Structure 1
Amino acid sequence: MTYEAKLEATKVHYPFNRWSESFFPDENDVGGMEQYSPENCEAAAAIMNELVADLIAAGENADEPEKMLLFEKAVEAYNDMDDEIAGFIETGEREDLCEIFDIITMAAGLNPEDYADGEGITDLWRNW
């Protein structure tokens, strides 16, 4: 499988459609999950799509620091999103994001266990 195909294949692991299934606006703001609106979930998917596209553009032979900058940009975008949308990245979503980042890290030819004392590349920059 080519480098590009490996990265594109990671998209089947995206959690964003599952998150949007949790969306149920509540007029009384009691128990609603408005943070998982289709728009918010699409924005979250767009961040990951941009990471995948940027890694493909950089190429398989890009050096580790170059790839790490792309991961940092994506993690920082999720930090910003979590700051802007209350409750967007809670425990379950954090686990989902860390897992997909690990999958993409491996597809990009890096080992997630090499970062943040084995916790994965997201732990270098995430606030969630």
Structure 2
Amino acid sequence: MNLFDEDEAIYAFDSDALVTLERYYSDLSVFDALWQDLAWLSLAGRFKVIDFVYDEVVDSYKGDRGFLKSWLKKQRKYCFWETDEKAMILSQRVINENVRSGFLKPGKLIGERDEADPFLIGTLR
């Protein structure tokens, strides 16, 4: 999928954006429309979450994010975006260029799980 060939905007979210949305906008009924709009965008193929972000939120996130995990699992078949080989190659370039800049968290790059940001950037390039 090339985002720049699309007629309508496609929104790719990182885990921080999703967690922030949940933290501030999940438990007030006035914000139900926000989550319904995101679900609609997902169904329309215009809301995307790459596999690394999905895994961070659903499988690895240690916080109490029951609403977000449940919501994202329901949207998975519409919003899940597999990181392809080209994105992986571009992601490695992002990592190499930024490993010492403070942009990336070295512990996440070296530890058991990857930092999702370079893979999101690589996918969107």
Q: Write 1 or 2 for the structure with the bigger share of strand.
A: 2
Same fold (TM over 0.5): no
With normalisation by structure 2, the TM-score equals 0.29
Quick check: which one's helix share is greater? 1
- TM-score, structure 1 as length reference: 0.29
